[in-house]
Amino acid sequence: MSSSIQLFFDGSWITLILSSCLLLMILTFAIQRGQFIYAVRNIPQPISLPLIGNAYQLNSTLEEFFNNLVKWSQRFGDIFLVWVGIRPFIFLYKVETVQPLLSSSVHINKSFDYNYLNPWLGNGLITSNGDVWYHSRKLLTPTFHSGLLEEYFNSATNEVKIMISCLEKEIGKSFDIVPYAKRAMLDVICDSAMGYHINAQTNVFNEYVLAVNRMSQIMQYRFTNVWTSFNLIFRLTKLGREHDHALKVIHTFVDKVIAERKQEWINQQNDDSNKSIKKHRALLDLLLEISKNGTILTDTNIRDEVNTFMFAGHDTTATSISWILYALGRRPEYQEQILDEYDEIVGDKEITLEMLNKLNLLDACIKESWRLYPVVPLIGRQIYSPIKILGHNIPVGSTVLINSYLLHRDVRYFPEPDVFKPERFLPSSPKLPSYTFIPFSAGSRNCIGWKFATVVVKVFTLSILKSYHITSLISEDKLRLISELVLVNKGGIPLKITPRTR
């Protein structure tokens, strides 16, 4: 009897302790939540519901979500807050609100949503934060210096010839340019990152190519669907299983390339006859060289950075090229002017990187396209220490999203903001204030590969214009924009091409 009583009291005490801990956690959460809500009470925001916040207004198509952001900016002004469940998202789109964040050396951490990329990118430059990010950034910055741009220029020049050839079967037809640009960029980035030719443009069923494309699609879906944010649930779904399969294919392939490249390095060190031969250098070679010179880089570290370059480079650059061709397809007079400038500066000579950089109108047209159709329309930061923006105290725990699509349409700096006017970016035009134009973000966490991307985009745009006259088959008012990881048009970007005779 006494033992039964003892067991009862032991069980009761355990229950009481657990209940007290749970109650304390609930009270702590409620107090913190109340303090947070009080702190953001003056930030304009649409009416939200308990627990689900504004999710009921966001549980719509991605197109409607993008349109809602535009409408709320018009309704609430320079800064507004949206609750997705219990997560607060603060949106900024004016230079006065953007500058304090992007110019900060403290608020550099990416939003929690980037954690979805961790299985793929590990502790690469996109997903890492704090000291790990500082170390990686310092380590990788030399790999994008101007001396290596010649390597990337040559790679882009070779791959665009293949794309032009692939486009021949579309002459005179309506077709979506995006898949062609994506396959071409996979070839460029794979060559630049690993020194490996996967021939994505001519072998669309390559296992690695299919895996990268599928992973990109899954990541885009997770970034825009709140119900996939719970990893335990996501991994049990069909999409989660596809994610794991694609991830295995990607890691297996990259690990194999790293192992082969390391063996080549060993062989070269043992063979004096090859040391004088100049070889194409990829990012992987530079990482191996850094590792050889004393910096500790494991194979996993190297794989993370190679995967990061692949992920960050191929989709964004392909999207950029697609939008530029769309914009020029709407304004054919600029196609002719770009080619006139090319004839004047390059003529019959073989173009060099130096000549490419002298094509000011090409540069201006590309920048104007980036203004109208920023490749990454939402830039996320997680707030870990308080910051004041436009008199509003932004508390710890906030996720801040910079809307570059709206930032680039500020009428104060871009009159007729919806009109394609490349003259804004010619050398003779007034210089824009800092943070008004951020196609590659800005500040210490800007895109490390922006010079690489610029060279590749210029090579592809110019080469395609030299081969084809482009017509865009959808007007600006018919675009159905969607903010995924990149800015896309629902239904793709339909073009029509005809061979040039000049």
Q: Burial level of 61, CB count in 10 A (0-12/13-18/19+)? A: exposed
Ramachandran sector of residue 451 (left: φ over 0; alpha: ψ -120 to 50; beta: rest): alpha
Through-space distance between the first and last CA atoms of the chain, rounded to whole angstroms: 103
CA dihedral sign of residues 481, 484, 488, 491: negative
Q: Where are the alpha helices (DSSP H) in 167-237?
A: 178-194, 207-224, 231-234
The residue assigned the tokens 């600029």 is 334
Closest among 316, 306, 326 to 185, alpha carbons compared:
316
Residue 272 corresponds to which tokens in the numbers above? 């004096």
Query: How many contiguous H segments (helices) and E segments (strands) does the chain have?
Result: 18, 11
* H or E element, residue 251: helix 238-270
Q: Is 447 flagged in the annotation as binding?
A: yes
Dihedral over alpha carbons 474, 476, 481, 485 (to 10 degrees):
90
Q: Tokens standing for 155?
A: 């790679």
In what helix (H) or strand (E) does residue 33 lie, and over which residues does it extend? helix 2-39
Longest dimension (CA), the chain: 104
Do the beta carbons of residue 186 and residue 155 sit within 8 Å?
no
Tokens of 148: 């290596």
Query: Angle 350-313-319 (CA atoms, 0-180°, nearest 5)?
Result: 85
Residue set of the binding site for heme: 447
Residue set of the binding site: 447
